[in-house]
Amino acid sequence: MPQDAFTLRLVARELNAALVGGKINRIVQPDREELSLLIYTGKRTVKLILNANASACGAYFCEDDRESPKTAPAFCMLLRKYVQGADILGVELAGFERILRFRLLCHSEFQTAERFLIAEIMGKYSNLILTENGVILGALKTTTLDENTKRMIFAGVPYSPPAAQDKTDPSDLPALRALLQTCTGDRADFLFRHVRGLAPVTAQAIADGYRGGDFAQYVHDFIFSDDISPRIVERDGAVVDFVARGSEGIPFATLSEAQSEFYRRKRAGKNFDGQKRKLLSVLQNAKKKQEKQLLQNLEKQLSCRDAEENRRKGELLTANLYALSRGMRACELENWETGEREKIALDPRLSPAENAQAYYKKYRKQKRTVEVLLPRERETRDEILYLESLIALTDSAAEEHDLASIGEELRSVGLLEAPKEKKKVVKAEIPFRTYETEGMRILAGRNNLQNDALLRQSAPDDIWLHAQRYHSCHVVIKSNGMPVPEKVLSFAAGVCALYSDAHGEKVPVDYCPLKYVKKPPHSKAGFVIYSNFKTTLGDPNFMKN
């Protein structure tokens, strides 16, 4: 984000034109480092965001409705006391630094005073400070007397701006010209290191646009021109930056709109990633729990592996009771199955018959244990497969609808708690993933519940697809009784490959008419068996081809 003095000068110009004469009607603090000011400009009410977060600092208009805390933080209460109802006299850039100053005329029952709300947009050092007559009334981030800092920020001390960078001010053309005469090597790097108020991306834009002539005059004119062409820069579908003056990316009418959309999408991406991590964590923990149960089950089965041996020993003892007596610690009897003699341990406190019954009792207990463990093992293995399918669906989720549908499924099986709602809200049904190619519709489930619903809602002659030997979404081609072209089949196989846990350029995908797909009774959501299928290769990059 080039929140440098070059960009903030244009931001200040834009905000000043929109806000002068406006009145601050409401102040909220939706986040620990963000303020939201509702300002009536005389024509309409706008929401101004002032953010001092290291990764989202800025000042821009926004239309997003974000939930506010029930109890306002201290700085928000301070601003409500001193600033709410104030008239905005102007917005300006302080010198050529990354500092915006909002000049306010504040009214109360006892006095009218001019105050400044200062937004220092400086990355991790960003701050919001309220001053009157050069004295700090309060700040979002304060220092203490115990801190080893040259700059004190707390109520009652004089406001001093951050120390200026040891760089040339570009508004001083003679000094700029003298500096640039020493420029050697990479121009962009030189401008960034020696000219005040330029981010690397801005310095690079200046260097790229230079076509000869007076370089100092060109740099000065570029920086102080009021021309703007705000854009958001994307890479691989994700926003990576916004610029005040650019030629590539998504264009916007104003810098504020570009910033607002950039941060909205950045927040959405962060929330999406966080929600995905949360769901994956729930699923991975549930899978580990099932794997632990499976291991315990197998260990118990292993402890019962000598059940038949115990039965045989009981039979040998019963057949040879006449040759045994109480007090023996062991005996050696002939095994009629192998013809070899077998040594059998005995309890000297028990009679020969009681020793035989002890072996029979142990055998019966082991047999009952195995009879209970085997069905549990199958159930546990099915549960692990089910969780692995959910993990694959979550890992391949690409939008909010995907995660919302998976969250619904997790709540339906008790892996997530249902949200507490004061009022019963009718939720909109989350749609299938829907595609269309060659005049045919292709539907794909977002979770296992949708996969089952897709089977119920499709016709017997529709074509069903699923990744072979991998977890994937279910895909159905709505054929309407018509032959499915190879291109449509290839497209649908690509959808299957994309939303699967397979990794590779080509993924084997099975397909068949839906009439050959059956769901066994009492089986887990998303589990089916199928026959009469063929296999094709699906390309997960089909959308890019």
Number of domains in the chain: 3
- Pair 327, 452 in one domain: no
Task: Return the H-helix or E-strand segment holding 343.
Answer: strand 341-345
The pLDDT tens digits along the chain (545 residues) read 578 999 999 999 999 999 999 999 999 998 899 999 999 998 899 999 999 998 889 999 988 777 777 788 999 999 999 999 999 999 999 989 999 999 999 988 788 999 999 999 998 899 999 999 999 999 999 988 776 677 899 999 999 999 888 899 999 999 999 999 888 889 999 999 999 999 999 999 999 998 888 999 999 999 999 999 999 988 877 888 888 988 888 999 999 999 988 988 888 888 888 999 999 999 999 999 999 999 999 999 999 999 999 999 999 999 999 999 999 999 999 888 788 899 999 999 999 999 999 999 999 999 999 999 999 999 999 999 999 999 999 998 888 888 989 998 999 888 988 776 555 544 557 889 999 999 999 999 999 999 999 999 999 999 999 999 999 999 999 998 899 999 999 999 999 999 998 877 899 999 999 999 999 998 889 999 999 999 999 998 887 65
Question: Is 228 within the bounds of a domain?
Answer: no
- Pair 358, 452 in one domain: no
- Pair 314, 439 in one domain: no
Strand spans (E) along 364-450:
433-437, 440-444
Taking CA atoms, 194 is separated from 169, 187, 213, 272, 310, in Å, by 9, 10, 20, 40, 87
Question: Is 160 within the bounds of a domain?
Answer: no
Quick one: pLDDT at residue 179? 92
Cβ neighbours around 171 below 10 Å, total: 14
- Pair 360, 455 in one domain: no
- Pair 36, 131 in one domain: yes
Q: Which of 339, 360, 375 is the last residue of a domain?
A: 375
Question: Is 415 within the bounds of a domain?
Answer: no
Cβ neighbours around 531 below 10 Å, total: 8
Q: Which residues contact 293 (CB under 8 A, 6 or more apart)?
A: 376, 380
CB 388, CB 280: distance < 8 Å: no
pTM: 0.70
- Pair 16, 133 in one domain: yes
Q: Which of 353, 375, 397 is the last residue of a domain?
A: 375
Give me the long-range contacts of 158-167 (CB less than 8 A, separation at least 24): 158/134, 159/118, 159/129, 159/131, 159/134, 159/135, 161/94, 161/97, 161/99, 162/97, 162/99, 162/120, 162/122, 162/125, 164/95, 164/97, 164/196, 165/196, 167/193, 167/194, 167/195, 167/196, 167/197
Cβ neighbours around 338 below 10 Å, total: 8
Q: Which two tokens stand for residue 404?
A: 């919302």
Question: Is 170 within the bounds of a domain?
Answer: no
Facing residues of 506 across strands?
none
Question: Is 96 within the bounds of a domain?
Answer: yes
Looking up residue 118, the CATH number of its domain turns out to be: 2.30.310.10
Amino acid at 222: F
Question: Is 289 within the bounds of a domain?
Answer: no
Tokens 């499915």 belong to: 484
Question: Is 277 within the bounds of a domain?
Answer: no
CB 201, CB 220: distance < 8 Å: no
Question: Is 466 within the bounds of a domain?
Answer: yes
- Pair 367, 451 in one domain: no
Q: Which of 139, 171, 201 is the last residue of a domain?
A: 139
Quick one: pLDDT at residue 35? 93
Task: Return the H-helix or E-strand segment holding 134.
Answer: none
Task: Return the H-helix or E-strand segment holding 266.
Answer: helix 255-303
Residue 278 to residue 404: CA distance in whole angstroms: 12
Quick one: pLDDT at residue 43? 86
Give the range of the structural domain holding residue 99, as residue numbers without chain letter.
Answer: 5-139
Q: Which residues contact 509 (CB under 8 A, 6 or more apart)?
A: 465, 466, 467, 468, 472, 493, 496, 497, 535, 536, 537, 538
- Pair 318, 444 in one domain: no
- Pair 102, 29 in one domain: yes
- Pair 355, 457 in one domain: no
CB 183, CB 190: distance < 8 Å: yes
Quick one: pLDDT at residue 427? 55
- Pair 363, 437 in one domain: no
Quick one: pLDDT at residue 56? 87
- Pair 29, 113 in one domain: yes
